[in-house]
Chain A
Amino acid sequence: MNHGRRALFGVTSGESERDGSCMKYFLKRVLLLIATLWVAITLNFLIPRMMPGNPGQAVIAKFAGEGHPLTPSALKAIDAMLGLSHASLPVQYWQYLGEVVHLNFGVSYSYFPYTVTELIAKALPWTLGLVGVSTVISFFVGTGLGVLVAWRRNQATDGILTSIAAFTGAFPYFWFALAAVYVLGFLLNWFPLSGGYEVGAIPHLSWGFILDVIHHAILPAVTVVVSSIGGWLIGMRNNMINTLGEDYVLLARAKGLSNRWIATMYAARNAILPNITGFGMALGFVVAGSLLTEVVFGYPGMGNLLYNAVINEDYPLMQGIFLVIVFCVIMANFLVDLLYVFIDPRVRERRGSGA
């Protein structure tokens, strides 16, 4: 029995071992991130080029269809205008990679002569503000309420909140948004009907403008929160009820710990892990905007931009938007993976040093 003789804390060896596996885990994640991005960018290059025809011919055909036949010489001009290349595929690919690195996604067809980058840069802040903030609110409030109702399961709070959550979660979103616009915007005139700010106003930093933006954002934000909060609540409630049945929660009760400590550190801390993954995904998809919200409320964000790109067959814009969405989703997943190192000690071992 040499336990007493050991150094009081021989933890240093264990710590450095753990740091090593953390580092390995991090490197693996970074490599995976780069590989995924490369595949996404390459697919984005290949898919449109596998389609028959090319955008120049499409323009010619469009004009011909409208009764304005163009001479073949115009094709060259159109190609130049749209920045089309007839080089071999590998050459095009190399050029494309260069452009992507410089964030140059070409010229929009439907908003000519604006470039895709300019359009996205203009729409992105609106979406990040509206959908980002509502997603964060929805996650935190929904998850918090999920913890509460799971702790008071089978009581009145649980019955009422869970029923409401199931109800709002099952709402057809567009119907709900339209009803909100009709009642709160049109009939009661409490909120503006559409747009991100007052028509004619020029975006600038002043209290008046900021209040105007918030006033315009409330109704779409509330509809997003109401329609998504139920999912977080019910997901968290179900996970939490599972962890509440675990032996370590029973033991925590036997230890006479306070309810608050048991609910947070023992039950919620373990139950929240799947919800965090979901939150990471949701954050990644924030940049895609909430298509229906932005269309219904005429909000000048990414969702609206994508919608217009699709109905106008604006391929460069679509490609640019898809690339931004894919990039953000991959990054969000990467960040959640890193976050897991801190919130779930098991990940360090399992993913770090294992397979």
Chain B
Amino acid sequence: MSLLSVEGLKVTYGLRNPVYAVRGVSFEIFEEEFVGLVGESGCGKSTLGFAIARLERPPARIAGGRVVLDGRDWTAMSERELRPHRWKDVSVVLQSGMNALNPVMTIEAQFRDVMVQHTDWSEPAIRQRALEVLDMVHIDRDILFRYPHELSGGMKQRVVIAMAFLLHPKLIILDEPTTALDMVVQREIMDNLMELRGREKFSLLFISHDLGLVLEISDRVLIMYAGQIVEENRAENLLEYGLHPYTQALMRSLPVPGSDAREFHGLRGSPPNLRQMPKGCAFAPRCDLVTAECHEVEPDLEDINGAKVRCHVVGKEVRVRGSEPSIG
């Protein structure tokens, strides 16, 4: 059984004339699986991440679907019912670790309150766990009694990651954890996460706009476009080829290690206005493979060779050939 099962989740902004930021998303995360969620700014990936942890803030609202985490339907539970499960079942790391720490509390106090809230650990056990998680992210134990403003940006982000591990959560949602950091610190944090995978048992939802980063850390990748999953595929397959034209465009924008190619290909146009969605496929106006059907009928997310893709053209092509497509 899967650890997390998202079923037809819809998130809207605003009550009158709502904008659908997440339009019927379904996927699963299994135990100890690392799943990446990739998309460009405004595609709804962060909204989706927050909604899964039931942290959506007004005017955002869950308008339909379910989030089942460890057998419990989080969308059907009240805030009071959710509270005992928060941080134990799912913890989050926010995009800006800089602002995720309370400026007037020491790191120790911010570690302690969550442990006091959810456990009956003794004082020494609480202290012990605080030191353990700091060791896990390779930060000096000294900083435990420091205030956030006394730490660098990279250290703060590590502290936030350490905090996410305090209660041995089943799932950790990382929302752009390295976006605000420089490349060197980003590298260290990614290596650190890979290392932690061997030490702790947890599943990961890694949200980022950086496909390269996501491919590196994930077992499975979800590509999101205009509030929908357009492709779900294993990371190693994606490294070979992307099925959806949008995925392919994203892949073409990545530098290829070892090649001399200095030309990267961007994607023409811009994402659709969520207030005025095109009738057919949301990606059709920017797609190179577009057909008449694409402008009329919205494609479904279909199973193809163990992957899932939301495309009329690629879907048919693969079905007709009945074998793996060759991209030339």
Binding site for B on A (CB under 8 A): 1, 3-4, 6, 8-11, 13-15, 246-248, 250-258, 261, 265-266, 269-270, 343-346, 349
Contacts and interface: CB of A to CB of B under 8 A. Distances in A.
B96 A255 contact: no
Interface of B: 53, 55, 57, 82-88, 91-92, 94, 96, 99-106, 113-114, 117-118, 131, 134-135, 138-142, 144-147, 149-150, 160
Contact of A252 (B102, B144, B150): B102
A344 B149 CA distance: 11
B57 A256 contact: no
Contacts of A349: 149-150
A273 B203 CA distance: 40
Nearest to A344: B104
Contacts of A251: 92, 94, 100-101, 160
Contacts of B150: 349
A255 B87 contact: yes
B55 A254 contact: yes
17 contacts: A4-B135, A9-B142, A9-B144, A10-B142, A14-B142, A14-B145, A14-B146, A247-B94, A247-B99, A248-B100, A248-B103, A250-B94, A251-B101, A253-B55, A254-B91, A256-B117, A258-B83
Contact of A256 (B83, B94, B106): B83
Given A248-B102, A251-B100, A254-B55, A1 B87 contact: no
Give the interface centre of A6, A11, A15 by most chain B CB atoms within 10 Å: A11
Contacts of A9: 141-142, 144-145
Contact of A8 (B53, B102, B104, B141): B141
Contacts of B99: 246-248
A11 B87 CA distance: 28
Contacts of A13: 142
Contacts of B104: 269-270, 343-345
A14 B91 CA distance: 30
Nearest to B106: A345
B79 to A, nearest CB: 8
Given A254-B55, A349-B150, 5 more contacts: A13-B142, A254-B92, A257-B114, A265-B113, A346-B147
A247 B146 CA distance: 19
A37 to B, nearest CB: 31
A345 B142 contact: no
A154 to B, nearest CB: 8
Contacts of B55: 250, 253-254
Contacts of A252: 102
Nearest to A343: B104
A256 B53 CA distance: 11
A346 B103 contact: yes
Contacts of B105: 265, 269
Contacts of A15: 145
A256 B101 contact: no
B101 A254 contact: no
Contacts of A11: 142, 144-145
A13 B139 CA distance: 17
A3 B162 CA distance: 15
A256 B118 CA distance: 8
Contacts of B101: 248, 251
A1 B160 CA distance: 20
Nearest to B91: A254
A345 B113 contact: no
A265 B87 contact: no
B113 to A, nearest CB: 6
A197 to B, nearest CB: 45
A257 B102 contact: no
A336 B113 CA distance: 28
Given A10-B141, A270-B104, A345-B147, A256 B113 contact: no
Nearest to A12: B142
A256 B86 contact: yes
A269 B106 CA distance: 13
The 7 nearest A-B residue pairs measured at CB: A256-B86, A247-B99, A345-B147, A255-B114, A248-B102, A256-B83, A247-B100
Contacts of A255: 86-87, 91, 113-114, 117
Contact of A345 (B91, B117, B139, B149): B149
Of B102, B113, B134, B141, chain A has the most CB atoms within 10 Å of the CB of: B102
Q: Which of A3, A256, A344 has the most CB of B within 10 A?
A: A256
A1 B146 CA distance: 21
Contacts of A248: 99-103
A11 B108 CA distance: 12
B25 to A, nearest CB: 20
B124 to A, nearest CB: 12
B140 A3 contact: yes
A10 B92 CA distance: 29
Contacts of A246: 99
B149 A256 contact: no
